[in-house]
């Protein structure tokens, strides 16, 4: 085999290996490397020596005189593919030039390559693509909750590429964009989801969250109010709505939604109790403030500011514990 032909075959093999490795990265790369490998395979065959395929086909072409038996003569039927030479004495002479042979080989190999690429593409793209998208989505969710944002980003994108209107994957991708502080892009993603499915509440909530993170509180409040009107027990939306009012110091509006989530939704946390206690404290409702400050400490006993404030709100000996604890933690 010629050196040039060997080089082309080697390049083709390398490209096929890269093609196999590229499948887990991006399907489009598979097609690119497969096409390139096919091209170099053609160059390898085109520039290589052609030994031909010889097969001796026995053929009866004349009768022997006198005894009626066949007198056969052998001739190489395919001495060289498409390069047959018949003896002129038998009445037919055909000799195909090297140039014509190469062009015919080119056409044959092109057809073979097209069929091969079509077959492989069908194999790669056949089956249940939605199942593949679900697999990528599930992997992305695991990556997201593990804090592996780069991997989550790639898997969400793969899922959406296979299923462009995969709403759960789009919402997950939007939440990832919020985590990466790509808020404008997140709003666009959630808007697209809501165009597909206007009733998708999680998309609406996360769009409101993106607005809140952008400090677009009016847009956030409007979106959250719409959610709560149609879903009066969506307590996460109530908490975020309370936050949107709280950061604007609209405490009377904020406490309504915090209380609703606290009482009706059973939401309990140190932060919620601390914020509610602070609001009641500023409103002069000290009994409610004290109770909520104490409840906040039951969830997290390491907040020195709460001890200090309780020491101020509770007089005489009853407040000694909080004052002493605050002094210890401050030293």
Q: Would you list the domain boundaries of the chain? A: 3-53+96-125, 269-331
For residue 30, the model assigns a pLDDT of 67
* pLDDT tens figures, 25-39: 556 666 677 777 777
For residue 77, the model assigns a pLDDT of 42
Query: Who has greater pLDDT, 82 or 288?
Result: 288
* pLDDT tens figures, 250-276: 999 999 999 999 999 999 999 999 999
Nearest to 154 by CA among 166, 168, 144: 144
Statement: residue 116 has pLDDT above 60: yes
Maximum mean pLDDT: which of 40-44, 77-81, 304-308: 304-308
Cα–Cα distance measured from residue 23 to residue 123, given in angstroms and rounded to the nearest whole number: 12
Tell me the pLDDT band of 100, cut-offs 50, 70 and 90: low
Mean pLDDT rounded to a whole number for the chain = 81
Statement: residue 56 has pLDDT above 90: no
Cα–Cα distance measured from residue 197 to residue 166, given in angstroms and rounded to the nearest whole number: 11
Statement: residue 9 has pLDDT above 80: no
Statement: residue 89 has pLDDT above 50: no
Burial of 94 (0-12, 13-18, 19+ CB in 10 A): exposed
Tell me the pLDDT band of 21, cut-offs 50, 70 and 90: confident
What is the DSSP secondary structure assignment for residue 57, as one 8-state letter?
Answer: E
> Which SS3 state, helix, strand or coil, does residue 222 take?
helix
Tell me: domain 269-331, CATH 1.20.140.10, correct?
A: no
Which token pair is 276? 């509610």
Cα–Cα distance measured from residue 16 to residue 298, given in angstroms and rounded to the nearest whole number: 63
Statement: residue 249 has pLDDT above 50: yes
Tell me the pLDDT band of 59, cut-offs 50, 70 and 90: very low
> Model pTM greater than 0.75?
no
């Amino acid at each position: 085999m010629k050196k040039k032909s060997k080089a082309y075959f080697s390049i083709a093999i390398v490209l096929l290996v890269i093609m196999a490795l590229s499948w887990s990265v991006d399907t489009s790369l598979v097609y690119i490397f497969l096409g390139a490998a096919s091209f170099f395979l053609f160059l390898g065959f085109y520039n290589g020596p052609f030994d031909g395929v010889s097969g001796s086909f026995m053929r009866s072409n004349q009768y022997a005189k006198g005894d009626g038996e066949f007198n056969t003569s052998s001739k190489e039927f395919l001495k060289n593919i498409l390069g047959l030479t018949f003896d002129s004495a038998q009445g037919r002479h055909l000799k195909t030039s090297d140039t014509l042979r190469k062009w015919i080989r080119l056409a044959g190999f092109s057809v073979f390559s097209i069929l091969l690429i079509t077959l492989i593409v069908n194999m790669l793209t056949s089956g249940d693509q939605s199942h593949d998208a679900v697999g990528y989505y599930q992997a992305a969710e695991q990556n997201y909750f593990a804090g592996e944002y780069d991997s989550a980003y790639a898997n969400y994108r793969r899922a959406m590429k296979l299923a462009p209107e995969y709403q759960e994957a789009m919402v997950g991708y939007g939440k990832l964009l919020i985590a990466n502080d790509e808020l404008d892009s997140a709003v666009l993603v959630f808007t697209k989801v809501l165009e597909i499915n206007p009733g998708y509440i999680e998309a609406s909530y996360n769009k409101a969250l993106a607005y809140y993170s952008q400090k677009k509180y009016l847009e956030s409040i409007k979106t959250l109010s719409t959610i709560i009107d149609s879903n009066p027990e969506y307590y996460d939306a109530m908490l975020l709505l309370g936050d949107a009012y709280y950061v604007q110091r609209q405490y009377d509006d904020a406490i309504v939604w915090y209380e609703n989530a606290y009482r009706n939704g059973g939401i309990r946390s140190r932060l919620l109790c601390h914020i509610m206690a602070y609001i009641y404290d500023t409103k002069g409702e000290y009994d409610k403030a004290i109770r909520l400050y104490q409840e906040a400490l039951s969830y997290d006993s390491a907040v020195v500011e709460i001890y200090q404030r309780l020491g101020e709100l509770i007089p005489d000996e009853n407040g000694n514990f909080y004052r002493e604890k605050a002094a210890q933690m401050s030293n």
